[in-house]
Amino acid sequence: MKKIFKIIGITLLTLFALLLIIPFAFQGKLNDIIKRYANESVNANVEFKDASLSFIKSFPKAHISVDDLLITTFKPFENETLVSAKHIAFTMDVKELLKKASEDPLAVKSIVVEEALLTIKTDKFGNANYDIAKENENQVETDSNSSFTFDIQDYSINNSAITYIDEATAIQLFLTELNHEGHGTFSAETSELNTKTQTNVSFSLDSTMYLNNNSIKLDAIIGLDLANSKYTFKDNKGYINQLPIEFDGFVQLLDDGQDIDITFENPESDFKNFLALIPETYSKSIENVETTGNFKVKAIIKGKVTEETIPTLDISLTSNNASFKYPNLPKGINNIYLNTEIKNTTGNVDDTYVNINQLDFKIDQDVFKSAATLKNITKNMLVNANINGVLNLANLTKAYPIELETALTGILKANLNTAFDMEAIETNAYARIKNSGTASLSDFVFSSEDLNNPLHITNASLSLKADDVTLNKFEAKTGESDINATGDIKNLMGFLLSDNTLKGDFYIKSNTFKVNDFMTTEAEVETPENKEPTTSEALKIPAFLECIIHANANTVVYDNLNLKNLSGTVYIKDQQATLENLKSSIFDGSLTVSGDVSTKNETPTFNLKLGADGFDIAQSFKDLELLQSIAPIANFFQGKLNTTLSFSGDLDNELAPNLSTISGNALAELLTTNIEEKNSTLLTKLDGALNFIDFSKIDLKDLKTSLSFADGKVSVKPFDIKYNDINISVSGAHGFDQSLEYSAILDVPAKYLGSEVNQLIGKINTEEANNITIPVTANIGGSLTSPSVKTDLTSGVKNLTAQLIEIEKQKLLDQGKSKVKDMLGGLIGSNNTKTDSIKSEQKSTVTNVLQDIVSSKSTTRDSTQNNSTKETVKNVLGGLFSKTKKTDE
C-alpha cells in the first residue's frame, strides 16, 4: 500500500514538474502565434511587453497572457491609440497550441481583459480608426478560416473605459469605470448570453449633454441570433443612477447601420423614482425621504440608425401633485407638477424637440411656475420659455441637500417670457432675441471669482422689452463700497447662457467707492519644497464685462489715496479700463486723469496722463510715492504745485505703479513756495559749502521746469532760480533710489567772496570792479539722505584776484596815458620852428612826469608789476616820440 502511494506521489510530482517546464518549450511558439495572428489580421502597429504560457492556472487548459498590449493605427489616424490593455488572458485546449499555421484556426474558450482603454473614432469624412482588418484574397466569406473561433463560455472586462467619437454626427459617448462579464456560448447560431454590466455614462449630441457621468447598471439576458446579427433583450432590469428601468426589444446589425426597437419604463410609480433619477452626488441618500404623488418614465425608441437617420423617439416624464421632504432638512417641496416630452417623429435628427409643458413647485408660500420649448436642438436651438413666480433663495438649501460655497439669500420675483435662438445669443443678434416682463431681486448676496468681496444687492429691478433690458434700480454694497446704478444692459441672455460678454451703459453714484472691492484675486505663487504654499493676490478687471460707466462719487479710495467729488467716464472692455475726463479734488487742489489701465496680461500695465492744479506740496509728496521718487527734494517745500505728468509702466498686484518699470515726462510749476531747511541734510551741506547763501530764502515762486524719467532715473532739464543778486542754474539727474547727480552753477558777485577780495575792490573803486561776477559750480552727489557737495570756490577766488589786479593795471595805464597826452598835446601843437634846446627841455619834463606817475603807485604793486607797467609806458612813449621825430623832420 505504501508503495502505491509512493508511486502516485512520484507520478503527480513528475506531472506537476512537467506542467511547469513544458511552457518554456512553447514560449517561442507562443510569441510566433501572437505575431502571426497580428500580422495576418490587422493593418496596425501591435506591441506587447511580454507573453506567457501556463498549464497550472487553468488546468487542464492552457493559459496564455499578454501584458501591456498597445495597438496604434496608421493613416489617417497615424500613431493614435486604438487599444491599450494592462493585461489580457486567454484559455484554450492544449491541442490548439500544437496546430500548424496551415491547420484549422484556434478556438478560444475564455477571455479576461484588465484595465483596457478602447478609443473608437470616426472622422468627418467617414474614416474609422477601427477599420484595421486586412483583406485576404484567399479568404472565403465564412468564419471557418478566421484566425480565431469563439467557443467562449466566460469573458470579463474589468476596470476599463470606452470612448466613442463620431465627428460626422457630433456624437460623443464615454463609458468609464466599466466592469462587464458574460457567460454563454458563441459557437451556436442561436444561444443566450447572461451579462452583468456596471459603468458611468456620459453622452452628448451636437455639444448638448444628455447624460453626464450617470451611473448605469444592467443585468441582461441577451438572445444571440448570430446568423441574422440580431440581439434580443430578455428579462432585463437596469438602473439609471438609482432609478430602476425594465426594458425589452432588440438591436439588429445591418449593412448600413442598426435597426433598433426598444421600450422601457420604471416598474414603480412612486415619486421617489424621480429623486432616484438625479445623480446621487446631488440627491444624496433617498432611502428615508418622505414622498407623495407619482412619477412615471415611458419610452419607445424605434427605427434605424444610419448616417442619415436616427430612431424615432417618444419619451415622457410625468408627475402630478407630488412632494418630498428630506428628514434632516426643515422644509419640503410641495405641489410638484412635471410634464415633459422628448420626441422625434421623423427619424431626422434635426426634428428632435423637448417640451417642458409644466414645471411647477411650491416652497412654503412661494409658488414658482415655468414652461419651455426647445426645438432644433442639434443645430441652432430655438428656445421659448416662460417664468412666473416668487422664490426665496434661502429656502433652496433648507428644502434640498444642495451644497453651495456661499449660502444663497434673497427674494426673486419674476414674470418673464423669452424667445431666442442660440446663434443669436452667440453672435449678439439682438433683433432675434425677444424678451418681455419684469424681474426683481432683493437682499441677494452674490460671490464670484471675479469679485474680491461678495456683492450684496439690496434692491434691483429689471424691465425687459424686445432686446433691451433696462436697469430701473440697482442698490448694492461690496466690501466698504456702495453703488446706486441705473442704465441699460445688453447681452444679458448671452452672459447667462453662453458665457458671453456682459455689456451695458450705466450711470453710477456712490458715497464711498473702493477700487479694491471690485477686483478679483488670483493665487499663483510657487514655493520651495517642504514649505507651505503662500498666496499673492493679483487684482483683475472682470473679463466678462464690457460697459460704459458714467460715475459720480463723493469719495473714491485708490491705493492710499482719497479722491473727493470724483466725476468722469470709464470705458471697460477686454480687461482694460479707459479713463476719460476724470476729475477730482485731492491735496487741496484739483486733479484730472486720462488714459488706461489693463489687467489682461499676467502683469497689469498703465498709460496715464495726470494734471494737478494747486496741489499742496507737503501733503501730495507725503502720500504719493511716485512724486516722492520723481522729485524727492520737494519733500522740503511748503506751498502749491501745478504739474502735468505723462507716464506708463507696470502695476503690482494691488494695481499700484511698479516704480522700477515706469517711464514718462513731467512739467512742474511751483507757486508761493517756501523751503523747510531744518529737515534737509542736503540743504545743510549746501549751506556749509556756500555760506554766503541762505537757502531758506531762495525765491522759488513761479519756478517752471521739465523732466523725463525711465529705468528708475529722472533727468531734469536746466532751470534758473535767484537768490538776491545771485543767479543759479541747476541741472542733472537722480534715481528712484534717491541717488543724486546734480550741478548748480552760481553767478556770484565778487563782493560775496571774502575780505581780501573786497579790499582790492575798495582800492580800485571802479564801476567795472563793483559789478564783476564769477561762476561757481557746486557738484552734488551721494544720496538724498547722505549727500556730498563739492565746489570750485577756491579757484574762483584766485581767478577773481588776478582779474582785479588786471583791472587795476589797466586803470594805471589809462591814467598815465591821459597825463602823457596832456603833456604831449603842447609839443605836437607847438611851432616847428622852435629850437632844439626847447624840444629837449620839453622831453625832459615829460619823462619826469611819467616817472612820478610810476613811482607814485609803486607801493601798491610788486617789482614785477612795476617793471611791466614801466615797459608798457615806455612802449607808449616810444611811439609818441617816434611820431614827433617824424613831424620835426
Q: What is the pLDDT of residues 446-455, one digit of tens each?
A: 777 667 788 8
pLDDT band at residue 620, thresholds of 50, 70 and 90?
confident
Say how far apart CA 437 and CA 455 lie, in whole Å.
25
Q: Are residues 695 and 616 in the same domain?
A: yes
pLDDT (0 to 100) of residue 860? 42
Write down the mean pLDDT value for the chain.
Answer: 76
Q: 575, 520 in Cβ contact below 8 A?
A: no
Percent of the chain scoring above 90 in pLDDT:
16
Q: Residue 872: helix, strand or coil by DSSP?
A: helix
Say how far apart CA 888 and CA 878 lie, in whole Å.
15
Q: Are residues 634 and 783 in the same domain?
A: yes
Residue 745 lies in a domain: yes
Q: Evaluate if residue 367 carries a pLDDT over 90.
A: yes
Four-point Cα dihedral 854, 857, 858, 859, nearest 10: 170
Q: Are residues 852 and 769 in the same domain?
A: no
Q: What is the mean pLDDT of residues 512-540?
A: 58
Say how far apart CA 57 and CA 637 lie, in whole Å.
96
Closest CA to 37 of 77, 113, 97: 97
Long-range Cβ contacts of 747-751 (<8 Å, 24+ apart): 747/773, 747/774, 747/775, 748/692, 748/773, 748/774, 748/775, 748/776, 748/796, 749/725, 749/773, 750/774, 750/800, 750/804
Q: What is the mean pLDDT of residues 870-874?
A: 44
Closest CA to 761 of 698, 792, 812, 805: 805
Q: Evaluate if residue 850 carries a pLDDT over 70.
A: no
pLDDT (0 to 100) of residue 56? 62
pLDDT band at residue 653, thresholds of 50, 70 and 90?
confident
Verify cis geometry, omega within 30 degrees of 0, for the bond prior to 76.
yes
Q: Residue 821: helix, strand or coil by DSSP?
A: helix
Q: Where is 634: in which H helix or E strand?
A: none
Residue 415 lies in a domain: no
Q: Evaluate if residue 106 carries a pLDDT over 90.
A: no
Cell numbers found for residue 428: 449678439
Q: Are residues 572 and 654 in the same domain?
A: no
Cell 432644433 belongs to residue:
376
Cell numbers found for residue 507: 450711470
Cα-based distances in Å from 665 to 3, 608, 643, 645, 711: 113, 11, 11, 6, 13
- Residue-wise pLDDT for 192-223, tens only, equals 888 899 999 888 876 766 677 788 888 888 88
Residue 753 lies in a domain: yes
- Residue-wise pLDDT for 461-494, tens only, equals 989 876 678 889 989 998 889 999 999 887 777 7
- Residue-wise pLDDT for 16-67, tens only, equals 444 444 454 455 556 666 666 666 667 778 887 777 777 666 666 777 788 8
Residue 209 lies in a domain: no
Q: Are residues 612 and 493 in the same domain?
A: no
Q: What is the mean pLDDT of residues 356-373?
A: 92
Q: Are residues 581 and 605 in the same domain?
A: no
pLDDT band at residue 188, thresholds of 50, 70 and 90?
low
pLDDT (0 to 100) of residue 57? 66
Long-range Cβ contacts of 573-576 (<8 Å, 24+ apart): 573/546, 573/547, 574/543, 574/546, 574/600, 575/540, 575/541, 575/542, 575/543, 575/599, 575/600, 576/541, 576/600
Q: What is the mean pLDDT of residues 847-854?
A: 48
In eight-state DSSP terms, residue 256 is T
Q: Evaluate if residue 535 carries a pLDDT over 50.
A: no
pLDDT band at residue 529, thresholds of 50, 70 and 90?
very low
Say how far apart CA 573 and CA 544 lie, in whole Å.
9
Q: Evaluate if residue 617 carries a pLDDT over 90.
A: no
pLDDT (0 to 100) of residue 20? 42
- Higher-confidence residue of 263 and 710: namely 263
Q: Residue 368: helix, strand or coil by DSSP?
A: strand
Q: 681, 785 in Cβ contact below 8 A?
A: yes
pLDDT (0 to 100) of residue 255? 83
Residue 158 lies in a domain: no
Cα-based distances in Å from 703 to 375, 613, 631: 75, 15, 14
* Residue span of the structural domain in which 742 resides: 599-791
Residue-by-residue DSSP string for 491-538 = -HHHHHHH-PPEEEEEEEEEEEEEGGGG-B--B-----TTS-----B-
Cell numbers found for residue 43: 493593418
Q: Are residues 454 and 544 in the same domain?
A: yes
- Higher-confidence residue of 339 and 651: namely 339
- Higher-confidence residue of 540 and 10: namely 540
Q: What is the mean pLDDT of residues 367-387?
A: 90
Say how far apart CA 376 and CA 625 lie, in whole Å.
61
User: What is the Cβ-side half-sphere exposure of residue 101, based on CA atoms within 13 angstroms?
Assistant: 10
pLDDT band at residue 844, thresholds of 50, 70 and 90?
low
β-strand partners of 195: 182, 220
Q: Which of 429-433, 454-458, 536-540 has the lowest mean pLDDT?
A: 536-540
In eight-state DSSP terms, residue 129 is T
Q: Are residues 726 and 846 in the same domain?
A: no
Q: Are residues 511 and 624 in the same domain?
A: no
Say how far apart CA 879 and CA 278 lie, in whole Å.
129
By CB neighbour count within 10 A (0-12 exposed, 13-18 middle, 19+ buried), where does 503 fall? buried
Q: Are residues 748 and 632 in the same domain?
A: yes
Cell 561776477 belongs to residue:
773
Q: Where is 840: in which H helix or E strand?
A: helix 836-856
pLDDT band at residue 875, thresholds of 50, 70 and 90?
very low
pLDDT (0 to 100) of residue 822? 63
Longest dimension (CA), the chain: 190
Residue 143 lies in a domain: no
Residue 468 lies in a domain: yes
Long-range Cβ contacts of 397-406 (<8 Å, 24+ apart): 398/329, 398/330, 398/331, 399/325, 399/326, 399/329, 399/331, 399/332, 399/333, 399/363, 400/326, 400/329, 400/333, 401/282, 401/283, 401/284, 401/326, 401/329, 402/282, 405/447, 406/445, 406/447, 406/454
Q: Evaluate if residue 109 carries a pLDDT over 90.
A: no
Say how far apart CA 320 and CA 295 lie, in whole Å.
7
Number of domains observed in the structure of the chain: 3
pLDDT (0 to 100) of residue 387? 92
3-class secondary structure per residue, 48-59: CCEEEEECCCCC
Q: Where is 563: in which H helix or E strand?
A: strand 561-573
Q: Evaluate if residue 388 carries a pLDDT over 90.
A: yes
pLDDT (0 to 100) of residue 865? 44
In eight-state DSSP terms, residue 105 is P
Q: Are residues 542 and 674 in the same domain?
A: no
Say how far apart CA 375 and CA 426 lie, in whole Å.
17
Overall pTM surpassing 0.85 (yes/no): no
β-strand partners of 149: 107
Residue 659 lies in a domain: yes
State the distance between the two ends of the chain, measured CA to CA, in whole angstroms. 182
Q: Residue 484: helix, strand or coil by DSSP?
A: strand
Q: Are residues 632 and 494 in the same domain?
A: no
- The pairing of strands 257-265 and 230-240 is unpaired
